[in-house]
């Protein structure tokens, strides 16, 4: 199947700083990418949907000014957690939809963010 | 909100078929049923999807009832590596976009 990568796989940052997470579709073009967050022992929660070249659409309750999403190319989307706080510590997972196939959606391996 | 209901946990013996049920009674006519699984601390892995007909691939089979209100994922010969959380998802259309909204899933444990 298609491959989605994320970088970094884990990151530790201090409160008040910002951290950027990259999501790449390696062998297909993805006009739509998704960002999820997962807390321990919980399911994935959809944060936002991004379409290449346009503004992201955020789910209810997700602060767009805190979680900045950029989808500048057909293979790259970034999530920036601004002014991070310990409660932002979570597992962040991106996903990309392959529009050439049967609309299958592939997930990255996730990024573990710890805010101290 | 997720449109699916799954049992929170199931056990299966290694080598036997694992049958994971899912209820999606409010599914609309053009909404697909997707199955993913997540092994601890990894991203979800795509398994299979379907609309009306039963589907089979190298990983699993998907049986969808005629009224489409429920489905069953079948892992024909479960191995220890199949231990994971399995998510049944109805892909919904919302605000012009197609989304996969995860429910709580079924934690499947394969026992030796």
pLDDT digits (tens, 9 = 90+) for B21-63: 999 999 988 889 999 999 988 999 999 999 999 999 999 999 9
**Minimal C-alpha gap between B106 and chain A (Å):** 11
What CA–CA distance (Å, rounded) separates A58 from A64? 7
What CA–CA distance (Å, rounded) separates A52 from A75? 9
Element (DSSP H or E) covering residue A84: none
Contact assignment for B102 to A1 by CB distance below 8 Å: no
Mean pLDDT on A50-79: 91
Contact assignment for A93 to B36 by CB distance below 8 Å: no
B73 band by pLDDT with thresholds 50, 70 and 90: very high
pLDDT at B18: 98
A33 pairs with which residues across the strands? A50, A96
Looking at the complex, does the CB of residue A104 fall below 8 Å from at least one CB of chain B? Answer: yes
What DSSP line would sit under B33-98, residue for residue?
EEEEEE-TTS--EEEEEESSS-EE-SS-EEEE-TTSSEEEEEETT--GGG-EEEEEEEEEEETTEE
């Amino acid at each position: 199947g298609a491959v989605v990568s994320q970088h970094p796989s884990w990151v530790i940052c201090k409160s008040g700083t910002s951290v950027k997470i990259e999501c790449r579709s390696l062998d297909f073009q993805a006009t739509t990418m998704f960002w999820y967050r997962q807390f321990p022992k919980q399911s994935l929660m959809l944060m936002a949907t991004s379409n290449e070249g346009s503004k992201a659409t955020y789910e209810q309750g997700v602060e767009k000014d805190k979680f900045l999403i950029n989808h500048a190319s057909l293979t790259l989307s970034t999530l920036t957690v601004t002014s991070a706080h310990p409660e932002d510590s979570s597992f962040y997972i991106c996903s990309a939809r392959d529009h050439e196939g049967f609309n299958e959606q592939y997930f990255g391996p996730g990024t573990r963010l710890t805010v101290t | 909100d997720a449109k699916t209901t799954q049992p929170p946990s199931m056990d299966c013996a290694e080598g036997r078929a694992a049958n994971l049920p899912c209820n999606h009674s409010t599914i609309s006519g053009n909404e697909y049923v997707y199955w993913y699984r997540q092994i601890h601390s990894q991203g979800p892995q795509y398994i299979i999807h379907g609309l009306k007909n039963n589907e089979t691939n190298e990983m699993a089979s998907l049986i969808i009832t005629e009224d489409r209100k429920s489905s069953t994922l079948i892992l024909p010969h479960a191995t220890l590596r199949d231990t994971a959380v399995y998510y049944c998802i109805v892909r919904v259309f919302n605000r012009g976009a197609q989304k996969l909204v995860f429910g709580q899933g079924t934690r499947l444990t394969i026992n030796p």
